[in-house]
Structure 1
Amino acid sequence: MSNQADQLNQRRSGERWAIDWLPYLTDSTRNVGSYTTAVVSPELARIAERLGGHNLVNNSEYPYIADMVADCADWLSRLWHREDHHAPYVAVSGSTEAAMLAGLAALHRWKRTGAGERPNLVASSGAHVCWKRFCTYWDVELRTVEAPGDTVVADPAALARACDEHTILAVATLGYPEHGLFDDVAALAAALRDQGRETPLHVDAASGGFTAPFLSASLPWDFIVPAVVSISASGHKFGQTSLGLGWTLWRDAEHCPQHLWHGADYIGNGKRDIGLTFSRSLAPVAQQAHLFTRAGAFDRYRYDLRDCSSLTATIAAALRGDPDLKVLNDGHAIPVVAFVDRQTGAVERFTSRMGEDGWIVPTYPLECNPRLGQCGRIVVKPGLSTPARDRLMASVLRAIRPQALRL
């Protein structure tokens, strides 16, 4: 007992105990498996420092907040071809909360039809874990569809066949977490239509919502597809903000019931809002507003993403030189290189060698298609310095050709 007390007192004796953890914290730019923003510009860092303590819900204290969020939603409406810029929208803590709110809106809309059976939601088996959580927490049947053969994206016709009159949402993923590839949203909408279904379609665009408009501008995936009733995305991925921002936009008020919106008079003005969280930092929203309103905003996004895609194409070309690896995604639509085993153990061998140089590259079995074995991915995010890019590329080459001279 005394030893435990002594250890506790030692921890409480000063600030050094917390500081001692700092040497063990990896530089976030070294985690090339994460989709989240690793580098913020000096101006975004100043916004975070100045507004990090401002609470997004306190509209009475900071009356500019509502306009800032509305401006961001307006820009997103332009990006995602939403005609009604005044339709419901919300800024939340991240793409998981954003997706769950879209699911809840669909669930409550379905309940009001008087249907008595258990509701269900249809998605690929490789969809984000947030959909498993949503269905578990709100007692919705989750119907998943695996990718056929040696592919990694679910067949749109198979997804449509899994839907019935009790399906609250069919979920299309624009940027799978495992490999970054896109569902064919237009083909899924057409398959539903061919079966006589009016199933609402949600696009989980956590990472693709900020890349498709710039790298795949002609791709029909957003509100231009009539069946799409809601879209969720993450600001802190390729939206380039700091951690803590997700967006949900609905096509119209019909698909987001008003009884889900609640105000709180005790924070000053009782402005009605929707969300699963309450207090959260204003800083990421302010950063998003800055990124949208800077001169040539969309051109800058396009330049940054094309630059990232150029590096991912180079990495993918190098990986194709390893006969033991198969490249699934070369980064043309989203700056992600994903690869699987041709020879058992090849992915783990490669990621282990990358780890020797300090790079974090995840290795995992593919839920979308377990038959393909282990998968790895490298995400190239904006802001990576030229020296860091050079070191990353050198490490990739060394990991593929371990006998080569060190660069």
Structure 2
Amino acid sequence: MSNLHRRAGADRHAAALHVNPLYSGLISEGGVPRYRLPDGPMHPDAALAIIRDELMLDGNARLNLATFSTTWMEPQAKELIGECLDRNMVDREEYPQVAELEGRCVNMLSELWHDPGQGIGCSTAGSSEAAMLGGLAMKFAWRRRRGGAGGRPNLVIGTNTHVCWPKFCRYWDVEPRWAPIRRRGGPSDLRLDPEDVVSRCDADTIGVVAVLGSTQTGAYDPVADIAAALDRLEAERGLDVPLHVDAAGGGFVAPFLQPGLAWDFRLPRVRSINASGHKFGLVYPAVGWVVWQDAADLPGDLVLHTDVLGGPQETFTLNFSRSGAPIAAQYYNFLRLGFDGYRAVQRTCQDVARHLAAGIAGLGGLEPLTDGGELPAFAVRTAADLGCTAHELSDRLRRRGWQVPAYHLPPALEEIPVLRFVVRNGFSFDIADRLLADLRDTLREVRGPGRPASRQPLTALTR
């Protein structure tokens, strides 16, 4: 369903909501209009009840394996969020302590990502805004390096990137240079080839984006290998191309589950990192984070100065006013869980993901392309003789309450339809086993009576 909403036509202008008779006396006669403002106010209990009734039609968030966004927080966190909803994050004069909590979170993330000590960063209204800020910093730095002599700027990105990156390129007139993901080895090998990346770089390349946890497959790009290839490019051709890591998912996973993996500021080539606090950062939507390795990586002409809120301040986010509640919630999780707590939560998610992937592989006719061993998320494709398509299987699972998205892999592998399973905090082994049982029954239905599970080998994805 599109997130673009068009005005209802004249034939729908008079449409009204059908309201439970028990609410009579709490609302005006004639019902509640759907697409125009009511003529007058109604009792708050009635407004609450009407909206709650409609929201019952939404899916169960805990059974949603499509989203990476957090769907459960502790009651104490919810209480804190409610107390902070009215605090405008941008008004640092009025709410200095919220700004202080933001600064503490940035410092904690900088240390977690092995920043050498000169970094700078901020919160955002989500990881997409954080990614765009990273892209803008690279574009402005490129313009400064080229001194006005450059052509059209370009950005090298993988076909496994989030939609925010082609958005960035379109909105800020940057040419996207697509590097395809390929499968050459084991089950978790759908990722960028460093040489493919470097071959697309030139003097007008503002940067390269590597993904630490693709939303399509859950796989990590080989960030250290890409950084090494870019180091060689500079040594051989004098092209200093910065590397940005889109760690929307992996930024809150890899430090706890793969601490020896070099993907962050341990690599000097990595100049900036974005991450999503409302994904594996375990906070309700919406909060993101972006950190630059050095203050010099954030060009000064991107930072604006204003005193409109009563005191001088600097701002370098796309959004201006937003609630401080997600910042307080992120800080709550940092205090509440600490390093060991985050590691325990993410380890459990990964264990459940691997258990689920292994169980699905044993059903026949389904092949996990990744196994949940990096992000606790994986993609599954269907055999040609399964008896239904991936999209039909997704629809059948939805009838049982499960939300499992079906989609096609990106160009070069676009003929492969897959299903994605994301395991988040609160999705237990018991829930996973219930899903496996429903999936087993669904496959039995589509195969028909007496038809055995498919054992047809699935063709290789190597391209």
Same fold (TM over 0.5): yes
Task: Quote the residue 1:343 is aligned against.
Answer: 384
Query: 1:35, 1:379 within 8 Å by CA — same for their partners in 2?
Result: yes
Post-superposition Cα deviations, 1:162-196, rounded to whole Å, max 9, x if no partner, equal 11111101000011111110100010011122233
- 1:310-363 deviation line (CA, Å, top 9, x unaligned): 111111111112332221111111110211233274533432332121111000
**Match of residue 322 from structure 1:** 363
Query: Which residue in 2 is equivalent to 1:355?
Result: 398
Counterpart CA distance in 1 for 2:285 and 2:319 is: 15
Q: Residue in 2 aligned with 1:75? A: 108
SS in 2 for 1:315: helix
Residue 99 of structure 1 aligns to which amino acid in structure 2? A
Cα deviation, residue 147, structure 1: 2.2
Specify the alignment match of 1:106 in structure 2. 138
Deviates more, 1:54-63 or 1:10-19: 10-19
- Distance between the aligned counterparts of 1:339 and 1:375, measured in 2? 5
**Alignment counterpart, residue 212 of structure 2, candidates 174, 180, 185:** 174
Which segments of 5 or more consecutive residues in structure 2 lack a partner in the other structure? 1-8, 17-29, 450-463
Aligned position for 2:71: 38
1:267 match: secondary structure: coil
Could you say if the C-alpha distance between residues 283 and 198 of structure 1 is closer, same or farther in structure 2, counting changes exceeding 3 Å? same
Change in CA separation of 1:66 and 1:334 when aligned onto 2, cut-off 3 Å: same
2:99 maps to what in 1?
66
Match of 1:47, SS state, is helix
Give distance in 1, aligned partners of 2:10 and 2:370: 57
Deviation at 1:160, TM superposition (A): 1.2
Contact 1:88 1:249 in 2 (8 A): yes
Residues 2, 136 of structure 1: alpha-carbon distance in 2 compared, 3 angstrom cutoff: closer
User: SS where residue 238 of structure 1 aligns?
Assistant: coil
Asked if structure 2 preserves the Cα contact closer than 8 Å seen for 1:215 and 1:334, the reply is no
1:6-405 to structure 2, matched below 5 A, reads 6-7=14-15, 10-11=32-33, 12=38, 14=42, 15=47, 18-84=51-117, 86-113=118-145, 114=147, 115-148=149-182, 152-196=190-234, 197-294=239-336, 297-343=338-384, 345-367=388-410, 369-384=412-427, 388-402=431-445
**CA distance change for structure 1 residues 17 and 141 in 2, over 3 Å: closer, same or farther?**
same
Structure 1 CA distance for aligned equivalents of residues 289 and 182 of structure 2: 31
Residues 264-320 of structure 1: CA deviation (Å, up to 9, x unaligned)? 3121223102111011111111111111123x5111111111111111111111111
Does structure 1 retain, via aligned residues, the 8 Å contact 2:394–2:404? yes
Q: CA deviation at 1:77?
A: 1.2
Change (3 A) 1:2 1:211: closer
- The 1:136/1:385 distance shift into structure 2, 3 A limit, reads same
Q: Is residue 356–residue 433 contact of structure 2 (8 Å, CA) maintained in 1?
A: no
Aligned residues: 402
C-alpha contact (below 8 Å) 2:70/2:424 kept by paired residues:
yes
Give the whole-Å Cα distance in 1 for the aligned partners of 2:64 and 2:109. Answer: 28
After superposition, the Cα gap between the structure-2 partners of 1:329 and 1:5, relative to the gap in structure 1 and judged at 3 Å, is closer
Distance 1:2 1:355 in 2: 34
Q: Report the structure number with the largest CA radius of gyration.
A: 2
Partners of 2:121 and 2:289 within 8 A in 1: yes
* Relative contact order higher in (CA < 8 Å, ≥ 6 apart): 1
Mapped to 2, the partners of 1:119 and 1:391 lie a distance apart of: 50
Q: 1 CA distance for matches of 2:59 and 2:442?
A: 20
What TM-score, normalized by structure 1, do the two folds share?
Answer: 0.92
One-letter amino acid of the counterpart of residue 109, structure 1: A
Give the match's secondary structure for 1:144: strand
Q: Does the 8 Å contact 2:251/2:275 carry over to 1?
A: yes
Residue pair 2:409, 2:418 contacting (<8 A) in 1 also? yes
For structure 1, the 5+ residue unaligned runs are none
Aligned-residue CA RMSD (Å)? 2.3
Look up the match of 2:5.
none
Q: Indicate the percent of aligned positions where both proteins have the same amino acid.
A: 37
Offset at 1:88?
1.6
1:391: how far off?
3.0
| Equivalent-residue separation in structure 2 for 1:342 and 1:390 (angstroms) | 22
TM-score, reference length from structure 2: 0.82
Query: Structure 1: which amino acid aligns with 2:207?
Result: L
Instruction: Kindly state the Cα deviation for residue 23 of structure 1 after the two structures are TM-superposed.
Output: 2.2
Amino acid corresponding to residue 184 of structure 1 in structure 2 = P
